[in-house]
């Protein structure tokens, strides 16, 4: 057995964790090899020092405190399901607050839903739409596009005559149905 092999087994030899055959071989080698003997002495010294370290004394009554807090004082310590339930409730509250804030900061306009969602295109004018009827009567398309604040919400007499209630245009914007 060479020195390299012996040194790798020195700790196991020291702890008596080798087979009787290996133990005998290493003991013979150490007896004849000063370098391995020195290593063995060092490892043995370290083992002795570690074994002689005084156990530290806990600064508090460890078990008493643990038992009091976790069992006697508070017998229903939180389980996993309870912890996750709390987290879930907190997340739900956060989402609710976010939605509430978003609703108040950006309220939904109820007045003109179709005006905002549709674009006017001069190429998509249908002769039967209200746009055509209005522009034919006035003879000036630009007038239709300009919003008259005074007349907002009011209808001309001819509009009542020509248009059914459902077809009345919104002021200032063409509406395609």
Partner 1 sequence: MLHTEILSLVRPAPDTLEEFEKLVKTYEKSFYHFAYRLTGNHDDAQDLTQEGLLKAYRAFHRFKTGTAFDRWVYQIIYRLFIDQYRKKRRRPFVASLDESPPHLDQEKTKEVPDFSKLPEDFALRQELGETIQKALLRLPEEFRAAVILCDVQGFSYEEISNILQCSLGTVRSRIHRGRRQLREYLQPYLSVERRKN
The binding site for partner 1 (CB under 8 A) comprises 8, 10-12, 15, 17, 39, 41-43, 45-47, 49-56, 58-60, 62-63, 65-67, 70-71, 77
Least spacing, CB of residue 90 vs partner 1, in Å: 23
Least Å distance between CB 54 and partner 1?
5
Contact 154, 117 (CB under 8 A): no
For residue 174, the tally of other CB atoms under 10 A from its CB is 23
In whole angstroms, give the CA distance from residue 166 to residue 77: 67
Structure tokens at 143: 């007038």
SS3 at position 114: helix
H/E run at residue 52: none
Q: Which is nearer to partner 1, 69 or 86 (CB)?
A: 69
Closer Cβ to partner 1, 65 or 118, answer by number = 65
Of 63 and 166, which CB lies nearer to partner 1 in the complex structure? 63
Q: How far is the CB of 77 from partner 1 (least distance, A)?
A: 8
């Amino acid at each position: 057995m060479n020195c390299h092999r012996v040194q790798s087994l020195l700790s196991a030899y020291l702890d008596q964790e080798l087979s009787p055959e290996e133990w005998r071989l290493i003991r013979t080698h150490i007896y004849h090899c000063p370098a391995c003997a020195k290593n063995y002495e060092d490892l043995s010294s370290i083992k002795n020092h570690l074994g002689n370290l005084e156990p530290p004394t806990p600064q508090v009554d460890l078990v008493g405190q643990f038992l009091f807090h976790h069992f006697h004082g508070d017998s229903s310590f939180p389980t996993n399901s309870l912890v996750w339930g709390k987290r879930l409730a907190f997340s739900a509250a956060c989402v609710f607050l976010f939605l509430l804030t978003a609703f108040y900061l950006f309220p939904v306009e109820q007045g003109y839903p179709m005006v905002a969602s549709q674009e006017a295109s001069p190429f998509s004018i249908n002769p039967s739409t209200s746009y055509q009827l209005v522009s034919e009567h006035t003879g000036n398309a630009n007038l239709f596009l300009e919003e008259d604040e005074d007349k907002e919400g009011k209808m001309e007499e001819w509009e009542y005559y020509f248009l059914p209630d459902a077809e009345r245009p919104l002021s200032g914007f063409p509406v395609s149905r």
